Structure 1
């Protein structure tokens, strides 16, 4: 990871860009490419001497939610892996709602108005808005734009592929997770997948649409790093399993059994639980087609050319209408870069603004922090 850390800013900029321009750090692609080829190919089985190392990085690669190994998963493993050795994987104090609240406060401070609780089913409901950025999947765009889109573009969107799904469980527990290895209890995020071979088999079987009884499971125990997230004897723990797209199985028993394998006695600490199946995820958020929380399969081609092959991936053929969801580059994750890059594209094309505006919050917001 050390060479990647030396070029960390360039590596992050490269992977989290729209992948259409010349990278600012010209050495970053040369540092990254050979490692992606190694960890995204069958060589990944032989590159490390120990199973511990192989399994550790494979668990990170599984964040790509798809076939293992693959070039897309290799890039994900190296991006997240080298960040873990540098800045770490921070989580927002108080939960991700804090990010949404801060953004909403800043929008309102600049005169913006936020409407919630209304489902838009037709673009015409938006009236004569000069510019519209849609945080929706290609499937939803086809539904709300109807016949307004050119037929060729509609065919491209219809060919957009969705990946494996997530099925999630929220637990309320009385005690910290009783991991067999206490060192695991120091981590806020834990990957449960077994050996590298087991993870390869599980993820590839799931990507083929075949359900398994021992899927890859990601567990988050936020109080490990943010003690204020719970109450005495009441701790939140959430987890999701990688399952086939559209899977209708209740994930509670599967997820609980996976945790129990590495933390015997976990079930005895559970006070309450709730779950959502992969199939139900789409009703919760239409962007999660079939439960695909990444809004599109992370294949190499689709990672770069999502949602359709074009020089600027964010505008649609309709004037002033743009896509800004994870179905556009650089794809899924918690980086928010799809919306950021779509906004820059809109400013450049629609308003001729080529200098990035300051994103510094208003003075009165800073005074209240």
Structure 2
């Protein structure tokens, strides 16, 4: 596991641990000296330690944008509203006021999602390539690219989930060794999603029948994404794109969750061999296993769109585990010739 990913995991565990302690041991009143000390310690942990840890583990190490530091402050304010003593918790009442605009925002997102689905289905009929790549090519600003990538994931899900829509897709050069490409894995996650759908309906139906139906439908809608994830992993994990007015690009899909798109001209060196992750812990490894069989070094810094574009990572090289590495090396060599 890369150092940045390890730090993200450690940070998540640390944050959950601190907030859990806050819910368990935060005093309801501040009278004794020990209660005052506990309150001060938790306040420092919520609004100083956690934000600093977030900055180091997520922003600095992961090379993320600074505006993301608002996340730990917002989350700590929310937790403080329900854990701090009542006379102090009232100062965080503004968090509860946000529920109304948030509800309106969620409703707007629901309608926008319906619009995006219909539009995505219509556009996907004639697309020859991944909508996410097209979205990335239209923006140069990192924040706009991240948002465009996330929004393009919806039409991309339909594009890949329905074979008829992706019939003109470039053929794969090789396949990444991914668990999500296995049929049994796809069947398992689909059955799990159906079980979660029934469970969601059962839990909410006693409060609201309409709410239960809406929640169950929303959860079951994830089948589209799971199907796209399976077909990307199995059929389109590594290929060369040749869209209309763009240079040839090497595209590597780490299932539906991550994408690396690099102009062939910027693939400075492609090596075949045995590369262990323990010897390259700060490098990006794609594919199952601790050993990769292809190393690609870039002439310029590239961006790997992780977590559906929400965690972009700047990289200078990538290690991948393919089933047919020789064919990839041959095609890149041929495509890089003038």
Query: Fold-level match, TM-score > 0.5?
Result: no
Rg comparison, structure with higher value: 2
Higher relative contact order (CA closer than 8 Å, sequence separation 6+): 1
More strand by share: 2
- Structure 2 length-normalised TM: 0.27
The two structures have a TM-score, normalised by structure 1, of 0.25
